[in-house]
Structure 1
Amino acid sequence: MNSIKKPEVGIKPKFIHDEHRLIKIDDAILRFVENGQSIPIEWITERDQLIEVIGARKLKYNRT
């Protein structure tokens, strides 16, 4: 019996990675806030950058 070789999975597209990363950062920030911990500035910076990139991408592809 011949077995069919499946292609390699590859990598996740950047737009999906960015959206998942933003969700993970938001979840982590919420956990820290709920526990009274300080939010690392790097998280806020990365979150702001992701929001800007995702927003620009949505504007670019949602124009008619």
Structure 2
Amino acid sequence: MREDTYIDEQSAYEFISWYFKKDETELTKKEFNQYLWFYDNKNKEYVLRKKYTGQYAIPVELFDKWQNHLKSQIIEPPLGVIPKWLHDEYRIKDLKAAINRYLDNNREVSAEWIDEYNLLVKSIKTKGDHR
């Protein structure tokens, strides 16, 4: 015996519209509200039944297919870039760590690193004053 999944009226309407769309059958909300159950003659099965609680029952297998269809429709945007302010904060930490490693090993520190570090610190402090 298969179980049912219970959903609200709007979800039931969306489900049944999706289900019958494969047969190119359009169903208006008014038509949907007139029925207490939907039966698929091809597959000889109940597809959706209205319960006395106001919820609708869908066989679990069909609910799972519908959910998989919905998930396949989700299009995620392409990955963007790290925000500049966050990049700058990471860059400051990286520069500071590199400068300290060089100092710990008694090596000469690049003037470009120090200049960039100072510019980034100044830039972040300036932005912090505007907040």
TM-score under structure 2 length normalisation: 0.44
- Structure 1 counterpart of 2:130, one-letter code: K
**Structure having the higher Rg:** 2
The answer for unaligned runs of 5 or more in structure 2 is 1-67
Question: Which has the larger helix fraction?
Answer: 1
Q: Which of 93, 96, 105 is matched with 1:23 structurally?
A: 93
1:7 CA drift (Å)? 1.2
Moved over 4 A (4+): none
Instruction: Report which structure shows greater RCO (CA 8 Å, sep ≥6).
Output: 1
In structure 1, stretches of 5+ residues that fail to align are none
Which protein is richer in strand relative to its size?
A: 2
Q: Distance in 2 between matches of 1:6 and 1:31?
A: 41
- The Cα shift of 1:8 comes to 1.1
Identity %: 33
Q: What RMSD over aligned residues (CA atoms) do the two structures have, in Å?
A: 1.0
Taking structure 1 as the reference length, what is the TM-score of the superposition?
Answer: 0.86
Encode CA deviations 1:40-63: one digit per residue, 9 max, x unaligned. 0000100110011000011111xx
